[in-house]
């Protein structure tokens, strides 16, 4: 499935700005969301990791479960992998 150009993602809460991808995603792949909408992956995203559903400014909250799970360390574009390299929980 590594070469698939279409991948699925799972969202939990309507307020979330990230979704969980259900397979390994390659840059340029189409990521289909549960509501049928889709976004284009900008980076590689490993299975079970988070993809940004929209642009997130530096310092802005990353929302999952409708709650803050951390903050963007840098500008994160829609379709980017969201993990320790670009987010953290520094108060």
Partner 1 sequence: MSGFLGYLRPDGQVGIRNHVLVLPTVSCANGTVNMIRESLKNITAIFHCHGCGRAGKDFEIHMRTLVNIGKNPNVFAVCVIGLGCEVIKADWIASGISESGKPVKALEIQRNGGSRNTAKKAISICKEFLELAKKENRVPAKFADITLGLECGGSDGFSGITANPAVGVVSDWLISKGGTLILTESTEMIGTAHILSRRAVNAAVACRVENVIVEAEERAKNILGPMASMVIAPGNMDGGMTTIQEKSLGCITKAGSAPVEDVVDYGMHPSKKGLIIMDGPGYDTESMAGLAAAGAQVIIFTTGRGTPAGFPCVPVIKIVSNSRTFGEMEGDFDVNAGTLLEGETLEDVSKRIKGKLISVLNGEKTRAEQNSQEGVICLYTGLPSF
> Rule CB under 8 A: which residues touch partner 1?
8, 10, 12, 20, 22, 46-50, 62, 64-65, 67-70, 82-84, 87-90
**How far, in whole angstroms, is CA 29 from its chain's centroid?**
13
Query: In 10 A of CB 7, how many CB atoms?
Result: 21
For residue 49, count CB atoms less than 10 angstroms from its CB and return exposed for 0-12, middle for 13-18, buried for 19 or more. Answer: middle
User: Could you tell me the smallest distance in angstroms from the CB atom of residue 46 to partner 1?
Assistant: 7
CB of 22 to partner 1, least distance (A): 5
Q: Report the alpha-carbon distance of residue 60 to residue 45 in Å, rounded.
A: 21
Nearer to partner 1 by Cβ, of 4 and 47: the residue is: 47
* CB-nearer residue toward partner 1: 42 or 50: 50
């Amino acid at each position: 499935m590594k070469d698939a150009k279409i991948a699925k993602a799972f969202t939990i809460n309507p307020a979330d700005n990230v979704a969980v991808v259900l397979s390994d995603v390659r840059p340029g792949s189409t990521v289909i969301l549960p509501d049928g909408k889709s976004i284009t992956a900008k980076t590689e995203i490993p299975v079970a990791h988070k993809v940004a559903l929209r642009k997130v400014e530096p310092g802005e909250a990353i929302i999952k479960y409708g709650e803050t799970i951390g903050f963007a360390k840098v500008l994160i574009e829609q379709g980017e992998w969201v993990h320790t390299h670009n987010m953290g929980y520094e108060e």
